[in-house]
Amino acid sequence: MTTVNILSGGAAQGLVRGLTEAFRAQTGFGIDGEFGAVGLMADRLRAGTPADLVILTQALLAKLAEEKLVAASSIMDVGRVETALAVRSRDPRVTVKTEADLREVLRSADAIYVPDTKASTAGQHVARVLDQLGMAYEVASRLKIFPNGATAMRELAASTAQRPIGCTQATEIIATDGIVLSGSLPPGCELVTMYTAGVTAGAAHPKEAAALIALLAGADHRELRQRAGFTG
């Protein structure tokens, strides 16, 4: 089967998976590609990795359009995703309403699972929040860093720690078996990121890539986006 190739932030993986059958029925194409930290995915496109479309943060898509790597006219917002807290399904959920609450939750966790703190949207934000709370050094030995949020959440689900917690994009939490979305980050520590899709300048299948973007962003699939963790 012919496929369209995607380079995407991990936040969109669950949504893409949910649209695979609808896309195949509409176009006869399958979907293939990579999902990972947005910075790494952008760099893979820059390095020449074949891709028909990218799904990354709005800011990164704008840069790639400036670099003539994405067709500016094809860019479309998919939806917003918040960075949130996760716990194993069997563990009590935590409620964090203030920065003081977040400090206490992080202090009591014996393992903190997060994505790449240099290349991923959520990981970079976690690093900033830890600095803001003055806790970066305090929790350094308990920070479990993985290449992307999906991997970090799978590792959280399998964790043998007594009181582990995770922090990544809500969509990656919802898409992972064995963990649950525990709650939002408190005011002053929150992050909501707009994810955007665009057809690459070197797309082998630009028509089908545009069709997939229309499915990802279209009104007909608003409920699916919401179930996957996207907001308007």
Binned at pLDDT 50, 70 and 90, residue 231 comes out as: confident
Q: What is the pTM of this model?
A: 0.88
pLDDT in tens, 137-189: 999 999 999 999 999 999 999 999 999 999 999 999 999 999 999 999 999 99
99 lies in the same domain as 137: yes
- What CATH number did the domain enclosing 121 receive? 3.40.190.10
Domain that holds residue 57: 3-79+194-228
Q: Are residues 72 and 132 in the same domain?
A: no
Tell me the C-alpha distance between 58 and 88, whole Å.
31
Coil, helix or strand for 148?
A: coil
Based on the domain organization, do 12 and 47 belong to the same domain?
Answer: yes
Do 173 and 114 belong together in one domain?
A: yes
> What is the rounded distance in angstroms from the CA atom of residue 107 to the CA atom of residue 3?
46
Per-residue model confidence as pLDDT tens digits over 13-22: 999 999 999 9
**Assigned token pair, 1:** 């089967």
For the chain, give the percent of residues with pLDDT over 70. 100
Same domain, 59 and 103: no
Q: Is the pLDDT of residue 1 over 90?
A: no
Q: Tell me: do 89 and 174 sit in the same domain.
A: yes
- The angle subtended at Cα 58 by Cα 52 and Cα 60, nearest 5°, is 70
Instruction: Return the pLDDT at 96.
Output: 95
Domain identity same for 158 and 105 = yes
Same domain, 40 and 109: no
Cβ pair 120, 38 in contact under 8 A: yes
Strands 30-36 and 164-169, bridge-based pairing: unpaired
- pLDDT tens digit sequence for 50-76: 999 999 999 999 999 999 999 999 999
* pLDDT above 80 (res 221): yes
| Dihedral sign (CA 128, 129, 134, 137) | negative
- In sequence order, what DSSP letters do the residues of 67-136 get, joined into one string? TTSB-GGG-EEEEEEEEEEEEETTSPP----SHHHHHHHHHH-SEEEEE-TTTSHHHHHHHHHHHHHT-H
d(CA 166, CA 28): 38
Claim to verify: residue 55 and residue 126 sit in the same structural domain: no
Which residue reads 């994810």 in tokens?
A: 195
**pLDDT, tens digit, for every residue of 188-209?**
999 999 999 999 999 999 999 9
How many domains is the chain partitioned into structurally? 2
Residues 159 and 217 in one domain: no
Average pLDDT of the residues of the chain? 95
Would you say residue 19 lies in a domain?
yes
